[in-house]
Structure 1
């Protein structure tokens, strides 16, 4: 054991990247583009636009921000609108924006509560959206660093459930100011709202999850960047569940997924005999129905899902 933590940047195999396939082929390997080693554990990665690439295989820390109250890691977000800005924090009163190369503090949130953060995002170059683990949303403005964060009235109860959020970003140059937000609880409840009218929910559903999430740190909900009304959730088991929110109605029955990727569930069991748990997933930025997912056994999958006949596409 060298105590090193390896970070790799991989390219999918050409047959999967260039040809639409219906299944994975485990014997095909990803191509290593670059990589490096860190002396510290890595919990989350984000692309920083316009950042310079390291010319060495040793990854050097830029700066260190201690987490608060024993929380395992800070949440981070980046934006193409502000090159090299990183939004980060582990609690509501530890939210910062740091410029990577200069290490300059661009924004420090005004003192607030020590509620644990489960997610944060740039809505545009000046507006921040923060989600607490208890489901409370807050708005911040980079231009008003001393102003208190604005608590958003949410159309769900703040109880003992843990929540995470996913924000659908508008395409660069788009005239639309809409930012649909999906908030997901560890019991499988999803509520959709818009930051312009956050107290009015657009839709809600109880997803068909096997049981509450065993580890809320791995809860993940994300919007498909190139498919209207389509989102994916994970963190409940070894599967990624894809939903078409346009088909949700007001009935009390659980919403049924359009597609479920179960490939990780057949990986190696842990020391307790439990199957792998999905730790993260993300959508391909250009290919509408291509996703990547990772599990607790270290596996990484890239896969496509097929729209069933007779449904909207």
Structure 2
């Protein structure tokens, strides 16, 4: 048994209950949707990338131990197909809309999740962003504090907020830099957090569109290292959140930063990722929605043949 096989076996032993759902094609992402639903989406380069909304098994939605439960699988509630790969998907709070993005450019697709009498997720519009041709796919986040908004951008000088239903641009960030973005987020309805692929964090205020974004320190790291962002946003405006902002590098360095005091790190840790230094295609860090102070991290998987061998 090599190192990869040993890592896989040890990971499986950590689960008290393991629930699986077999997809017909690989999926790149999983996101929470309304009503304790989850959405998964494909990312292949060919037509017909599937978007599914799933109902988790009841045993995952209760804190009590249920023992033997007859329903242990995820169920497909509704679904649809995208003609382009889906690299990012966000549910728009307080609506029945989803927003997705993916190659070959930074335009966005808006989807209507079906009503109770239908099982279809249908495409309703496309948000063709300014100068989207030739730009990489857009990172996105959503909020509904004032109206259904989507925050999107692929580079630091291409960050915008668009009203989802009217397709009206309501904000464009001012920046002299054009660094590639690895993530962005609403901290609240007024404050935006932007994370460059190099790990640099920037803040912007929608009430001051011409103000320059302010960068926070970046950990000392090789130039080839890629970073991703994990944060939470709140609906009501207030001082910068006391919830730390997490960053994860492709080599497994995990940092926590308090935006009220950006001159130093709250914590630094070395995370165990399957393939350190192999890139950031599937690099992800996120805060657990129901477990205070807990993070989930992932990195691109090792060669599938090695993983399959470990399961035999």
Please, what TM-score do these two structures have when normalized by structure 1?
A: 0.66
Tell me the residue number matched to 1:157: 220
Quote how far apart the aligned CAs of 1:208 are.
Answer: 2.7
Q: Given that residues 135 and 158 in structure 1 are in contact (C-alpha distance below 8 angstroms), is that contact kept between their aligned partners in structure 2? A: no
Q: Where does residue 174 of structure 2 map in the other structure?
A: 110
Contiguous gaps of at least 5 residues in structure 1? 239-268, 277-313
Report the counterpart of residue 201 of structure 2 in structure 1. 137
Say yes or no: does 1:6 pair with 2:50.
yes
1:290 maps to: none
CA distance 1:2–1:158, shift in 2 (3 Å): closer
Q: 1:31 to 1:89 in 2, by over 3 A?
A: same
Q: C-alpha displacement at 1:14, in angstroms? A: 2.5
**Within the alignment, does 1:29 sit opposite 2:73 as a pair?**
yes
Moved more, 45-54 or 142-151: 45-54
**CA-CA distance at 1:202 after TM superposition:** 0.8
Q: CA deviation at 1:192?
A: 1.0
The alpha carbon displacement at 1:151 in A equals: 1.8
Divergent runs of 4+, >4 A = 19-23, 66-70, 169-176
Give the Cα–Cα distance (whole angstroms) in 2 for the partners of residues 150 and 134 of structure 1: 15
> How many residue pairs get matched?
241
What is the alpha-carbon distance in structure 1 between the residues aligned to residue 174 and residue 237 of structure 2? 31
Displacement of 1:204 in angstroms is 0.6
Instruction: Please report how far the alpha carbon of residue 184 of structure 1 lies from its aligned counterpart in structure 2 after TM superposition.
Output: 0.9
Return the match for 1:39 from 83, 86, 99. Answer: 83
Distance (Å, rounded) in 1 between the aligned partners of 2:175 and 2:236: 33
Distance, in Å, in 2 between the alignment partners of 1:119 and 1:232 is 16
Change beyond 3 A, Cα 1:60–1:6: farther
Per-residue CA deviation, residues 175-195 of structure 1 (Å, 9 max, x unaligned), is 994131111111011111101
Matched residue, 2:251: 187
CA distance in 1, matches of 2:179, 2:72: 44
Alignment of 1:35-184 (within 5 A): 35-52=79-96, 54=112, 57-65=121-129, 71=136, 73-154=137-218, 156-157=219-220, 159-160=222-223, 161-169=225-233, 177-184=241-248
**Offset, 1:68:** 7.2
Counterpart secondary structure, 1:60: strand
Match of 1:219 in 2: 283
Q: CA deviation at 1:35?
A: 2.0
Residues 189, 236 of structure 2: 8 Å contact kept:
no
Structure 1 pair 275/20, CA: closer, same or farther in 2 (3 Å)?
farther
Q: Against the structure 1 CA distance between its residues 213 and 234, is the aligned structure 2 distance closer, same or farther, given a 3 Å change threshold?
A: farther
Does the CA-based 8 Å contact 1:193-1:202 persist in structure 2?
Answer: yes
Distance 1:69 1:39, change over 3 A: closer
Query: 2:297 aligned with 1:233, yes or no?
Result: yes
Cα separation, 1, equivalents of 2:92 and 2:284:
21
Query: 2:291 is paired with a residue of what secondary structure?
Result: coil
Aligned-pair Cα RMSD in Å: 3.3
**Residue 241 (structure 2) pairs with residue 197 (structure 1):** no
- Structure 1 residues 226 and 15, CA, compared in 2 at 3 Å: closer, same or farther? closer
Look up the match of 2:41.
none
